Amino acid sequence: MKKALLAAALMSAGVVAHAQSSVTLYGRLDAGIEYMSGVPSASPLNANGAATQNSSRWKAESGDWGTSLWGMKGVEDIGGGNKVLFQLEGSFNTMTGAGPGGGGLFNRWATIGMSNAQYGTFTLGRMLFISNGVWDFDPFGQSNWSSASLVRGRNWPQSSNNFAYQSPKIAGFDFYGQYALSNATSWNGNGTTPQGREAGAQVTYTTSLFQIRGMYDEIRNPTNGGLWGGPIANGGINTANTSNGVFAASREYSAMFNVFLGQFKIQGAYQAVRSAGATGVLPGQPTTLDHEWGGVTWQATPAAALIAAVYHVNGNNGAGNATIYTVGGSYNLSKRTLLDIQVAGVSNSKTANYGLNANNAGYAPATDNPLQGKGQTGVYAGIQHSF
């Protein structure tokens, strides 16, 4: 009898060891205070509802250094080198406690999939779109004033109905790809669903001295499945992403690099953003963008880092160009908590009105964009804690 019980216990232990699982709760809180000049004044407005004067403001802000978020992820070992995994993640505003609203509770990640060390990882669900792959090559890590600003958020959307594959690393190379369905009766989208078809792929090569990445992605207009987000309304006072031109629906080609030199990391990138089938385009509304940046991070001590970067964009069709100059840094109080600061300024050509924030085009007070041809400066200081 004792032998039978012992055998049963050993068999049970084997099953538990064979199917071990774990769930991790994690998050990040980011908050601080921000000053910005060159902000459009709410009064007076012109006949189109656009601002005619610049102002300045102080603002309690969440997410300038990094999105405030919380989530959970888990993994179950099902044997044979295979694992089932999931991730749920949503953003929120630390200053107000407000969640993602219309984006859903888990607006950033809601995925399930399987992984194998030899064959890679396959996931399904909602996830950050592949264009967020610039994060690893942005000196400011896609902070609020960085690689998304001059493409008006084109580099940091989320994507639903997505299928993604991450390969294992082989001889320094790895591959990542995404394909998101529109879920409409027309493959690319026809206005019956909130998202058009989206897709992308990237190849990365990593060594101890440098890292390079090539990336292609496309976002289709959900209203007609095309590669043009539609004309920007007169005065630019609309806020609908589907009416934000090349910034909303287009193809994007990216080449990026990191160079590791002891305490220094040098980073740079070039992006070509191209639309197709553009209609109703007014003068000053770009259909193509050339976007590049470069910067350096100095890890002065294990706790302190200083960063300097320049971001530039040039649009066709008389849209002009803009440049962001920015410096900043962080100081780690502990492994989980840091203090951060960033000072930035954007310079616009006479036909451009890009701001530090990644806002939709236009001059409405709600956009925070400076008036056409005018500049903008900002300072942010805050604290961030991860758990």
Beta-bridge mates of residue 384: 30, 338
Could you tell me which residues are beta bridge partners of residue 210?
259
Contact 342, 328 (CB under 8 A): yes
State residue 361's pLDDT score. 81
At residue 11, the 3 state secondary structure works out as: helix
Output the average pLDDT for the chain.
91
d(CA 252, CA 151): 11
Residues 359-364, mean pLDDT to the nearest whole number = 76
Instruction: Work out the pLDDT band at 367, boundaries 50, 70, 90.
Output: confident
Distance CA 370, CA 380 (A): 18
The mean per-residue pLDDT over the stretch 160-188 comes to 98
Instruction: Output the pTM of the full model.
Output: 0.91
256-273 pLDDT tens trace? 999 999 999 999 999 999
The lowest-confidence range among 65-79, 107-121, 234-248, 355-369 is 234-248
Residue 2's φ and ψ, nearest 5 degrees, are -60, -40
CA distance 280 to 245: 10
Domains of the chain are 24-386 (2.40.160.10)
Min mean pLDDT across 167-176, 186-195, 274-283 is at: 274-283
Q: What DSSP string describes 72-141?
A: EEEEEEEETTEEEEEEEEEE--TTT----GGG-TTSSEEEEEEEETTTEEEEEEEEE-GGGGGGGG-TTT
- What is the model's pLDDT at position 101? 75
- The Cα–Cα gap between 175 and 170 comes to 9
Structure token digits, residue 61: 């802000």
- pLDDT at residue 126 tops 90: yes
364 pLDDT tier (thresholds 50, 70, 90): low
Q: For 297-341, how does the pLDDT look when each residue is reduced to its tens digit (9 = 90+)? A: 999 999 999 999 999 999 999 999 999 999 999 999 999 999 999
Contact 27, 386 (CB under 8 A): yes
